[in-house]
Amino acid sequence: MRVDAVTLFPGMIDAPLSDSIVGRARAEGYLELGFVNPRDFTEDRHRTVDDKPYGGGTGMVMMAEPVYRALKKVRKKNSFVILLTPKGRKFDQAAALELAGKKHLIFICGHYEGIDERVTPLADLELSIGDYVLTGGEPAAVAVIDAVTRLIPGVLKKSDATVNETFTGGLLEAPHYTRPGVWRGKKVPEALLSGNHKLIAEWRAAQAGELTGRARPDLAKEKAAKKPARAAKRTAQ
Least confident stretch, 7-16, 42-51, 158-167 = 158-167
pLDDT confidence of residue 225? 86
137-140: list long-range contacts, CB under 8 Å, 24+ apart.
Answer: 137/7, 137/84, 137/85, 137/107, 137/108, 137/109, 137/110, 137/111, 138/5, 138/7, 138/9, 138/12, 138/13, 138/109, 138/111, 139/12, 140/84, 140/109
119-148 per-position pLDDT tens digit? 999 999 999 999 999 999 999 999 999 999
Assign 20 a pLDDT band (cuts: 50, 70, 90): very high
Q: What integer pLDDT is reported at residue 157 of this predicted model?
A: 86
The pLDDT, as a whole number, for residue 223 is 87
* The domain over range 2-149 is classified in CATH as 3.40.1280.10: yes
The pLDDT assigned to 123 comes to 98
pLDDT at 26 > cutoff 70: yes
pLDDT at residue 168, as a whole number: 65
What are the boundaries of each domain within the chain? 2-149, 182-236
> What integer pLDDT is reported at residue 170 of this predicted model?
85
The span from the CA of 234 to the CA of 151, in Å, is: 30
Confidence of residue 162 (pLDDT cuts 50, 70, 90): low
Give CA–CA dist 53/173, Å, rounded. Answer: 45
What percent of the chain has a predicted confidence (pLDDT) above 70?
91
Question: For the residues 176-193, what does the mean pLDDT come to?
Answer: 96
**pLDDT tens digits along 48-60:** 999 999 999 999 9
Q: How far is CA 65 from the centre of its chain?
A: 27
Its pTM stands at 0.87
| Whole-angstrom distance, CA of residue 137 vs CA of residue 112 | 10
Residue 235 has pLDDT above 60, yes or no: no
